[in-house]
A and B are shown apart, each in its own frame.
Chain A
Amino acid sequence: MSNVKRKSGEKISSDLSKMATLAKAFTAASDWPDKDEFLDVIYWFRQIIGLVIGIAWGIVPIKGLLGIVLFFAVNMAVIYVYFSIFQKVDEEDYGGISEILKEGLMTSFATFLVAWIIVYSALYAD
């Protein structure tokens, strides 16, 4: 019984911690004492950007190398604006700008390709 209570207590505190992280992510110039927490926010933000861009490129449609180049450009630009202007984070705390810019990039690219292919196929394939 105490085990069940302990586990449900842990779950509640984990949920509260996630909500606190989410609130900080949407608040300008938040304080990020845990570097991994901020990088997790960047990671998930990137996945959402990849999904949104993939869906958008599939609907328009944007095709070819242009689509891929634009994905990287938009993705990097949005993340850069988010961490340097909105959150005002010092990239040196994270080992340089490249560490933040590459966080979750390849997985986001895979997510983008999947979304792009599926939406494009659904709308424009024979």
Chain B
Amino acid sequence: MIADTLLILFISIVTALLGEGLTWILVYRMEKYKKLKSEVEKQSKKLEKQKEAIGTEASERSLKKKLERQEEKLKTNNRDLSMVKMKSMFAIGFAFTALLSMFNSIFDGRVVARLPFVPISWLQSISHRNLLGEDYTDCSFIFLYILCTMSIRQNIQKILGFAPSRAANKQGSGFFSTPTPVGK
């Protein structure tokens, strides 16, 4: 069992590195992406500083309007950034879904680890997926793989410097973000 556990950890590390590697080849090294990312980060930091300032000074309509315009500009840049990433991310996502299905079928029905806790009921459908019996401390491949990926991918992105900045995260990123309200 421990061999399976460690193998899944290894698979998770390799797929995370592969994913980031492919993303670097298809997305991160593109000049357009680098330019947009740097613009978004600069604008996010500037906007954050200005929002803090507007909270302490007397509100002026013109200042708020200026902030709203900058937010719109940031939103547009974020959208463009998402568009640049989207096609490549779809392709990578598709490839990794196929890879995951393959591993899923290899480990189908195998208990790969013993959980030191009983997961809550709605998580059991993942943690006990395709496993026989009622012992919910039996762990399936998919649950362990998801946990490993959550930990490893994030840390690899941070180590390699691919994680978005905190200011950019705060101002929202991608298509589905709504701008944060101006002023307090």
> Which of B63-71, B93-101, B147-155 lies at the interface with chain A?
B147-155
Chain A: CB-nearest residue to B52? A95
Specify the main secondary structure of chain B where it touches its partner: helix
Specify the main secondary structure of chain A where it touches its partner: helix
A111, B13: Cα distance in complex, Å: 13
Q: A67-B117, A118-B113 are in contact. Are A113 and B5 (CB under 8 A)?
A: no
Interface residues of B in 117-172 (CB under 8 A from A): 117-118, 139, 144, 147-148, 150-151, 154-155, 158, 165-166
A114 touches B148 (CB 8 A): yes
Which of A61, A106, A117, A120 lies at the interface centre, i.e. has the most chain B CB atoms within 10 A of its CB? A117
The interface on chain B, measured as residues whose beta carbon lies within 8 A of the other chain's beta carbons, has a size of 22
The interface on chain A, measured as residues whose beta carbon lies within 8 A of the other chain's beta carbons, has a size of 29
Interface 0/1 of A96-126, CB less than 8 Å to B: 0000000000110011011011101110111
B154 touches A117 (CB 8 A): no
Residues on the B chain within 8 Å of A68, using CB: 117
Residues on the A chain within 8 Å of B6, using CB: 118
B151 touches A114 (CB 8 A): yes
B150 touches A107 (CB 8 A): yes
Of A58, A64, A110, A124, the residue contacting B118 (CB under 8 A) is: A64
A39 interfacial by beta-carbon distance below 8 Å: yes
A61, B6: Cα distance in complex, Å: 19
B9 interfacial by beta-carbon distance below 8 Å: yes
B2 touches A121 (CB 8 A): yes
B116 touches A107 (CB 8 A): no
CB distance from B108 to the nearest CB of A (A): 19
B1 interfacial by beta-carbon distance below 8 Å: yes
A113 touches B147 (CB 8 A): yes
CB distance from A88 to the nearest CB of B (A): 22
Q: What residues make up the interface of B, taking CB atoms closer than 8 Å to A?
A: 1-2, 5-6, 9, 113-118, 139, 144, 147-148, 150-151, 154-155, 158, 165-166
Chosen A-B contacts, 21 in total, with CB atoms closer than 8 Å, are A36-B166, A39-B166, A43-B158, A47-B155, A63-B116, A64-B117, A65-B117, A107-B150, A107-B155, A110-B147, A110-B154, A111-B151, A114-B148, A114-B151, A117-B139, A117-B144, A118-B5, A122-B2, A124-B114, A125-B113, A126-B114
